[in-house]
């Protein structure tokens, strides 16, 4: 099978992660994704660390399987080439700052006039209007405004911190890919033709966080009974020789935790008998101290075994290196090794969806900048002479 999106053509003129990762998801589902990059440097992630030539780890991990065309969209001739490509495209994704694509002559109104069936996707930091519209935005900026940073506090060291992964970019990417497939379904079922979809990173981040982070701000009124907030009870637990994570969400699990730690007397302690009692501030503090001291009596592997016997949710804290040898990761065949003809051995995570009937053929490849320029132009009706002219005018770069 070639995937549920076989036959769909995606033009990716976005950069960094939010747009490129969204388009890679579509490629993993069978779409043909054309990566449009500026000549000379290409996508900015090509020049990051951990790279061989113009193939960096981050670029390869968000642009795998795409075909690269190096096209100068700052010039009229480059814009005309893009417009020609748009005539037969299904999706276009961009994440320029608001107003930029209109100034370049490739805004949604212009391209939808050329191809009314186009799904045109605009990703931005804060949206097309408002006081933050023109801010330069990267992931940590959205983390800060959305509240993500404020809740990254250990009870032991109550200082806010960043989530040390580009979580808002990747959340936006998955939101975008979901919206695109929904728009393609609407088009296929006759509910709409093409349309312009706008996805602010801020909106995606807050929507994604809401179920747990905003528990205390969802129901309002005097009759609302308060309770623990998830981010207040998440905790990294120290053992005698390392760390683990556990999470107790029911009385049964608390009873199992007490037994595993050799303190069954906690089960009958009136301060800890129910979840509600355990969350009374002074009870919560007292229990936290007891748990901390009890865990310090056990090596990680010993207490992990005891917790599993009592069916208490818990896990060892894997280092990044240990992820590769974790038995469940190995069992799931999650890490794929493949050989790039120039960059050499690569390791990447396999796409996570397991399809029943429409299993896509994953493309383990990464183009150099402009590697597919000639082939893409030929597909869109450009002759050899046309391509030479574009190359001589430095509108394109090709290998």
Q: Which residues are catalytic?
A: 169
Contact 64, 347 (CB under 8 A): no
d(CA 206, CA 221): 22
Contact 67, 376 (CB under 8 A): yes
Non-local (6+) Cβ contacts of 381 within 8 A are 84
Nearest-angstrom CA–CA distance, 337 and 266: 49
The CB density around residue 111, as the number of other CB atoms within 10 Å, is 24
Q: How far apart are CA 118 and CA 379, in angstroms?
A: 18
Distance, CA of 74 to CA of 139 (rounded, Å):
26
CA distance 9 to 91: 7
Residues 16, 356: Cα–Cα separation, whole Å: 32
Q: What is the DSSP string of 250-296?
A: SHHHHHHHHHHTT-THHHH-TTTSSHHHHTSHHHHHHHHHHHHHHHT
135 conformational bin, left if phi > 0, alpha if psi -120 to 50, beta if neither: beta
SS3 category, 324? coil
Asked whether the beta carbons of 56 and 45 are under 8 A apart, the reply is yes
Query: For the range 161-166, what are the long-range contacts, defined as Cβ-Cβ under 8 Å and sequence gap of 24 or more?
Result: 166/17, 166/139
CB 183 within 8 A of CB 195: yes
């Amino acid at each position: 099978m070639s995937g549920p999106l076989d036959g769909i053509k995606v033009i990716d003129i976005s950069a960094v992660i939010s747009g490129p990762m969204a388009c890679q998801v579509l490629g993993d589902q069978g779409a043909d994704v054309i990566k449009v990059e500026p000549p000379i440097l290409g996508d900015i992630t090509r020049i990051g660390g951990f790279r061989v030539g113009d193939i960096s780890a981050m670029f390869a991990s968000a642009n795998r399987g795409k075909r690269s065309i190096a096209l100068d969209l700052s010039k009229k001739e480059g814009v005309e080439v893009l417009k020609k490509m748009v005539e037969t495209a299904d999706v276009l994704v961009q994440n320029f700052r608001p107003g930029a694509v209109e100034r370049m002559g490739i805004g949604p109104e212009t391209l939808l006039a050329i191809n009314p069936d186009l799904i045109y996707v605009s990703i931005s930091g804060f949206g097309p209007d408002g006081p933050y519209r023109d801010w330069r935005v990267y992931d940590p900026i959205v983390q800060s405004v959305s509240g993500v940073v404020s809740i990254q506090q250990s009870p032991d060291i109550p200082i806010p911190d960043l989530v040390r992964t580009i979580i808002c970019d990747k959340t936006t990417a998955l939101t975008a890919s979901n919206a695109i497939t929904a728009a393609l379904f609407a088009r296929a079922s006759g509910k709409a033709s093409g349309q312009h979809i706008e996805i602010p990173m801020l909106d995606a981040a807050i929507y994604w966080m809401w179920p747990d982070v905003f528990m205390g701000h969802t129901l309002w009124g005097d009759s609302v009974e308060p309770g623990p907030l998830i981010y207040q009870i998440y905790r990294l637990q120290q053992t005698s020789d390392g760390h683990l994570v556990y999470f107790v969400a029911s009385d049964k699990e608390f009873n199992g935790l007490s037994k595993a730690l050799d303190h069954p007397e906690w089960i009958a302690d009136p301060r800890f008998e129910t979840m509600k009692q355990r969350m009374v501030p002074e009870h919560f503090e007292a229990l936290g101290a007891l748990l901390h001291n009890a865990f310090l009596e056990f090596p990680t592997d010993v207490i992990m075994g005891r917790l599993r016997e009592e069916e208490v949710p818990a896990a060892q804290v894997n280092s990044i290196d240990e992820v590769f040898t974790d038995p469940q990761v190995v069992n799931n065949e999650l890490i794929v090794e493949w050989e790039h003809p120039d960059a050499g051995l690569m390791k990447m995570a396999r796409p996570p969806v397991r399809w029943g009937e429409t299993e896509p053929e994953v493309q383990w490849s990464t183009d150099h900048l402009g590697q597919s320029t000639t082939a893409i132009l030929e597909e869109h009706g450009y002759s050899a002479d046309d391509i030479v002219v574009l190359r001589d005018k430095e509108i394109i770069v090709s290998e």
